[in-house]
Chains A and B, each alone.
Chain A
Amino acid sequence: MEEVKLLGFWPSSFVYRVIWALKLKGVKFDYIEEDLSNKSELLLQYNPVRKNVPVLVHGGKSIAESLVILEYIEETWPQNPLLPKDPHEKALARFWMQFGVDKIRPAIFAYFRAIGEEGEKAKEFQEVLKIVEKQGLGDQKFFGGDNTIGLVDIAFGMLAYWLECIEEVVGVKVLEASSLPRLHAWAQNFKQVPVVKDNLPDRGKLLAHYKHSREKLILAASSSQ
């Protein structure tokens, strides 16, 4: 069996997408921690274009970009499928993963970087999540169905755990049970899935990591005034 390696960075939710997918399929891999503030020769060799993590290395060949890696994992290890079989359902799953890239990611970015307009950006972020809740999740327990998680749940995993820490640091809540009841319930259910529960970064460390990033932003904002 060919060797599988994963280059990662401990606070990255993108890296955890790959960890969860590999573990759900029972694929053994070596994890290599990268210091993104001091990138290794290995990382620059395996991902010369984007120079970031996660990078999956399988039989010596490297693949970057978490969503591309997820598709590769799904095709290479078909056990415990994470995408629907029906072509239209599969297209819908890919649609929501792309929505995450196009709409959720910029909204989180704007919300985390908002200095003085946290409330406004939080509301904008909530509007995006309302679309996900209504049109994406609907009445299902998970995006992958009532009994099973799939690639969309994995791709949205950051909303279930990382967002809580970000909310604490920014000081304005976004994913509340009152305004987003189904998505909030999804987040609680997702965190209970054994593979997810057993594979999450330390909350205290993550909180400190986000606090530090945000302090740097605030400092930069105040010094530019």
Chain B
Amino acid sequence: MEEVKVIGFWASPYVYRVTWALNLKGVEYEYQEEDVFNKSDLLLQYNPVHKKVPVFVHGGKRIAESTVILEYIEETWPQNPLLPTDPHARAMARFWTKFGDDKKPDFFGFFKSAGEEQIKAAKEAQECLKILEEHGLEDKKFFDGDKIGMTDLSLGWLAFWLEAMEGAAGVQVLDVNSFPRLHAWIRNLKEVPVIKENHPDQTRLLAYFKWLREMYTKPATT
């Protein structure tokens, strides 16, 4: 069997997309931690275009970009499929993954700002969450149906990372009263054994985001 390796960073939700997918399919892999604030020669060699994690290596061949890696994993190890079989449903799964990624600045703006700007950014984040809840999730248990799929993994950052960001920024965007369905989805996601046993430590994540926020909101020195 060919060697599988993931180069990642402990705090990255994009890396967890990949490791969750591999775990759900029962694929053994080697994990290598990378310090993204002090990038190794290996990372620069494996991902010269973006110099980012995750990088996926299979039989010596490398792939970068988490959504591209997920598609590769799905095709290479078809057991426990993460995409529906129906072509239109597959397209919807890809559409919502793309929505989450395209709207990233709108979702995270509240984390990088303060005061009036933060209030405005939090409202924008809630607009996006509303769309996800009403059009994406609707009344389903998971985004792709009855069981966990690619979209759930791609939006997994809502389940662990958003909470830590809200804590660090001192503002709640995903409140249970406005988003009951998303809250139920987060609870269901956290109960999936692979997810339950594989996620960043919340205390460590909160400290990390507190530190990151200080960097973003530090006043510019003259």
Interface on A for B, CB 8 Å cutoff? Answer: 48-50, 58, 61, 63-65, 67-69, 71-72, 75-76, 87-88, 90-92, 94-95, 98-99, 101, 131, 135
Contact A72 B49 (CB under 8 A): no
Question: B residues within 8 A CB of A94?
Answer: 65, 67-68, 71
Judge whether A98 and B99 touch: CB under 8 Å. no
State how many residues of chain B have any CB contact under 8 Å with chain A.
Answer: 26
Q: A94 to B74: give the CA distance in the assembly, Å.
A: 14
Partner of A72, one of B90, B102, B135: B90
Do A90 and B75 touch (CB < 8 A)? yes
One of A64, A67, A135 near B48 (C-beta < 8 A): A135
Min Cβ gap A206→B in Å is 25
Q: Which of A50, A76, A91 contacts B72 (CB 8 A)?
A: A91
The chain B residues found within 8 Å of chain A, CB to CB, are 48-49, 58, 61, 63-65, 67-69, 71-72, 75-76, 87-88, 90-92, 94-95, 98-99, 102, 131, 135
Q: How far is the CB of B50 from chain A (nearest CB, A)?
A: 8
For chain B, what secondary structure do more than half of its interface residues adopt (helix, strand, loop), or is it mixed? helix
The residues of A that contact B49 with a CB separation of less than 8 Å are: 99, 131, 135
Q: Is the CB of B65 within 8 A of A95?
A: yes
CB–CB A98/B65 < 8 A: yes
Beyond A49-B131, A71-B94, whether A61 also contacts B88 by CB under 8 A is yes
User: Which residues of the partner chain A approach B58 to less than 8 Å between Cβ atoms?
Assistant: 88
Q: How far is the CA of A50 from the CA of B94 in the complex (A)?
A: 14
Nearest B residue to A131, CB-CB? B49
Apart from the given pairs A61-B88, A68-B95, A94-B65, 4 other A-B contacts in the complex at a CB distance below 8 Å? A65-B94, A87-B75, A88-B61, A90-B71
CB < 8 Å neighbour of A64 from B63, B64, B95 = B95
Asked, given contacts A91-B69, A94-B68, whether A65 binds B95 with beta carbons under 8 Å apart, the answer is: yes
For this complex, 20 residue pairs linking A to B, each with C-beta atoms less than 8 Å apart, are A49-B95, A49-B135, A61-B88, A63-B92, A63-B95, A64-B95, A68-B98, A71-B90, A71-B91, A71-B94, A72-B88, A72-B90, A75-B90, A88-B58, A90-B71, A94-B65, A94-B67, A94-B68, A95-B64, A131-B49
Q: How many Å from the CB of A43 to the closest CB on chain B?
A: 15
Q: Nearest CB to that of B66 among chain A residues?
A: A98
Kindly provide the distance from the CB of B55 to the nearest chain A CB, expressed in whole angstroms.
11
